[in-house]
Structure 1
Amino acid sequence: MKEKSIIHLDLDTFFVSVERLLDSKLQHKPLLVGGLGDRGVVAACSYETRSFGVHSGMSMKMARQLCPEATVIKGDSGTYTKYSHQVTDIIKSKVPTFEKASVDEFYADLSGMDKFFGTYKFAHELRHLIIKESGLPISFGLSQNKVVSKIATGEAKPNNELFIHNGEEKSFLAPLSVRKIPMIGSKTFQKLLQLGVNKIYTIQEMPVEMLESVLGKNGRTIWKRANGIDDSPIIPFHERKSISAERTFHKDTIDMMVLHATLTAMGENLAFQLRQGNKLTTNVSVKIRYSDFSTYTKQAKVPYTSADHILIPKIEELFRQLYNRRLLIRLIGVKFSGLVGGNYQINLFDDSEKMLNLYNSIDKMRNRFGDNSITRASTLGGTHVGRMHNPFNGEPPVLLAHRQQ
């Protein structure tokens, strides 16, 4: 079987590194990026703050108490998006197929390149090209699969590289904490600690059936990862990856209340799907089809986001730019594209802990009671917008609005 070579690249403390690139006086100083007020949330923190117990996602008030000497910056998601695109373009120009796992994290299949360059030499040169062109520190792990490479990147940081040769995966993983294995969160970690399992080598020595009896079906996956076994594929990145919603009206309309309510419901539902799929979008487009079947679309770039309160105003702005008041509307649609992995963290610069908790609560209610269990008052008068189950598995999803009866 052909030996594989998978690289995992990760921009070190991405938001912090961008801020230091823009202001060199911040180098080597404790730095927090996020909401400025006491109710704000830490979106990113420098390595210098971590020894004080600071971590991303905690309240800014708590972080300031733990590390009072830290400089606090609100951050700008538009700036971070620009640098993310820049690094993406560099990787795209050098690697035939790559996966953009998040705004600051990439995988690429370098298999076969050893015939021409030497895989590690190519990876080393790619990393230094990114550092030279972007000015940002980046680390990589290189091995035969995604899981081992991702763990290797974590061990290489900050701003370094690590190559795990084929056959050395188990010995590399053995002394590490089980927390290093992707998909082991705090609850699973606590269960493993109760079993006396702290290091990966203990899992390597356990029968897989024992782990399955404790952790269910995830036990087998964790056992395989602990043994350096992973066959998850590279998911090629392309800008067109999208989710969308459309609504064809039973009767052509210019009722602005209905149009506004429908657009808002679409944006709300699509943003919910982004958060459920742990995705962010960077491109919003709106489509209008008039009664004469002429169809127009308009799109705009936005900083990476999955937040209703950022996306819905952009949808409304694009609709206003498109709308011709003289014609009846037959169909309207909304599409989010340029999707990457990521979470709500990138939206925390303007938001408070209260806003973050609000989104989490709303999403939990929708998951439990259905998409339409909680909606904005402005969507009343619109029509229910349906969605596909688990839309981020397989083909890029398309959301279909129920036709008005």
Structure 2
Amino acid sequence: MEPKRQIVHIDLDSFFVSVERKFNPELIGKPVLIGGSAERGVVASCSYEARRYGIHSAMPTRQALKLCPHAILIRGSHGRYGEASREVTQIIHEMVPVYQKTSIDEFYIDLTGMDRYHDAYKLASDLRQKIIKETGLPISFGMASSKTVAKMATNAAKPNGQLLIPHGEEMEFLAPLPIRKIPMLGEKTCKKLYEYGIEKIGDLQRVDLRFLQTLFGKSGMFIWEKARGIDHSEIVPHSDRKSISTETTFHNDVKDRRTLETVLVSMTEELSFKLRKENMLTSCLAIKVRYANFETHTQQEKIGLTAAEHILIPGIKNLLTKAWDPNRPIRLIGVRLSNLTTGSYQINLFEDNEERIRLYQALDTINFKFGEKTVCRAAGMEIGTRNFNPFMRG
């Protein structure tokens, strides 16, 4: 008999805001927005005091400031948040056997089988208290039989709380919640269900599976299972694939920087799209440069977890500057993204704005449907698709 699954979902509450409050306690109790400029930026994170005004992440900053004119807008610091995230990760790493980091402030932990030696819920509680004590950051967790229910339990426990959903009580816990609380259930799907009077998860639990399959096709089973708390997905500590890369050998050796950058942009776009398609993030980027005499140089850089080319492309260009000797012709150039982990791109980058978020959504929707590189940045268009790369040898 297999042991009952014990899955913990951990989320650092209003992470960016909490980190800023450590450095400036005067922000405590006030509506705080972290994000881009007031003109074109978006909210990356906001305090609970700001949320009472209807503000949420990914909302245009100007709209948020209209809802709460006295909110304090902070640009934020990548380095500060990265360091806080590493502190939390290290504590988790030392205390639990299997965990998955899905973003800078979110983790899944698998404590299945630990009941033979420890009380799994007590272990999770001790871990939470240790993080709070050592980092000073508020944190919430949910514990349940699956990743989906654990995540929903965390959301119910916020702010700064914890919640255990015992085995067999998943449906009872889910029933009174709105259907929009189900992770990965999109707005269009919810609207369709609202048309049939299905507003609570309990309503969804009473719906016949065949009805959902008629309405949503293959997704019907996914929706039916989520409403019942059924989720067999595993905790994936690290990707089976540690890195992805691509490289090009030029037919004629190249000295022109613009040509090299154009090739690198195309490569980086291709790899970042693959990351998003496979629900992966990278935290290390590298380039390889091989000169005409076959001498090869590499440069790499650690970055925050991302799958966004507007972060990766400038980084790759910067590495080219470090590796490139303008007086020597280049025979081969390549890009590698490594330290891969499972997780989705989050809107927590302060360069993000409304246009960029919509661009990503549009690019991925079209490319998922019609194939990679159907649409791409103008800088990468000169190269075309990888299959028809005019610079590729053989």
**Is the shorter-chain TM-score for this pair beyond 0.5, marking a shared fold?**
yes
Counterpart residue number, 1:199 = 200
Give, in whole Å, the separation in 2 of the partners of 1:371 and 1:148. 34
**Helix, strand or coil for the counterpart of 1:346?**
coil
- Extract unaligned runs of 5+ from structure 1: 388-399
SS in 2 for 1:345: coil
Could you give the per-residue CA deviations for residues 247-304 of structure 1, whole angstroms, max 9, x where no partner exists?
1233444443432321222123333434445544332111123344443321112234
Q: Which residue of 2 aligns with 1:394?
A: none
Q: Alpha carbons of 1:18 and 1:177: their partners in 2 closer, same or farther (altered >3 Å)? A: same
- The answer for the alignment partner of 2:236 in structure 1 is 235
* Match of residue 404 from structure 1: 393
Partner Cα separation in structure 2 for residue 6 and residue 132 of structure 1: 23
Q: Would you say the 8 A contact 1:153–1:161 is kept in 2? A: yes
Residue correspondence of structure 1 range 252-267 to structure 2 within 5 A: 252-267=253-268
Deviation at 1:401, TM superposition (A): 10
Deviation at 1:141, TM superposition (A): 0.8
Deviations 1:46-88 (A, max 9, x none): 1112221111111111111111121111122332222222222
**1:346 aligned onto 2:344:** no
Range moving further from structure 2, 192-201 or 258-267: 258-267
Q: Distance between the aligned counterparts of 2:163 and 2:379, measured in 1?
A: 53
Matches within 5 A, 1:70-89: 70-89=71-90
Asked whether the equivalents of residues 99 and 235 of structure 1 are also in contact (C-alpha less than 8 Å), the reply is: yes
Per the TM alignment, residue 118 of structure 1 is displaced from its structure 2 partner at its CA by 0.8
Q: CA RMSD in A?
A: 2.7
Pair 228,244 (structure 1): closer, same or farther in 2 beyond 3 Å = same
Q: Secondary structure at the match of 1:187?
A: helix
Instruction: Kindly state the Cα deviation for residue 101 of structure 1 after the two structures are TM-superposed.
Output: 1.7
Instruction: Tell me how far 1:379 sits from its aligned partner.
Output: 4.5
Residues 194-236 of structure 1, C-alpha deviations (whole Å, 9 max, x = no match): 1111222222222211222222221211111211222111112
Alignment of 1:50-129 (within 5 A): 50-129=51-130
Is residue 31–residue 48 contact of structure 1 (8 Å, CA) maintained in 2? yes
Structure 2: gaps (5+ residues): none
Q: Name the structure 2 match of 1:15.
A: 16
In structure 2, C-alpha distance between the alignment counterparts of 1:3 and 1:65, rounded to whole Å: 49
The code of the aligned residue for 2:205 comes to: Q
What is the distance in 2 between the residues matched to 1:3 and 1:294? Answer: 55
Q: Percent identity?
A: 46
State the one-letter code of the partner of 2:17.
Answer: V
What is the Cα deviation at residue 313 of structure 1? 2.5
CA contact (8 A) 1:147 1:230 kept: yes
| One-letter amino acid of the counterpart of residue 70, structure 1 | A
Counterparts of 1:6-405 in structure 2 under 5 Å? 6-237=7-238, 241-277=242-278, 279-324=280-325, 327-340=328-341, 341-347=343-349, 349-363=350-364, 366=367, 371-372=372-373, 374-376=375-377, 378-379=379-380, 382=383, 384-385=385-386, 403-404=392-393
Instruction: Say which SS state the counterpart of residue 90 (structure 2) adopts.
Output: helix
What is aligned with 1:397?
A: none
SS in 1 for 2:347: helix
Cα distance, 1:325–1:187 mapped onto 2, change above 3 Å: closer
User: C-alpha separation between the residues in 1 aligned to 2:69 and 2:381?
Assistant: 47
CA offset digits 1:100-134 (Å, max 9, x no partner): 12221111110111121210111111111122222
Superposition deviation, residue 365 in structure 1: 5.5
Contact 2:148-2:183 within 8 A present in 1 as well? yes
- In the TM superposition, residue 332 of structure 1 has moved relative to its aligned partner by 1.5
SS of the counterpart of 2:5? coil
Measured at CA, do residues 123 and 382 of structure 1 come closer, stay the same or move farther in structure 2, by a change above 3 Å? same
Contact 2:250–2:391 under 8 Å retained in 1: no
How far apart are residue 368 of structure 1 and its match?
Answer: 6.2
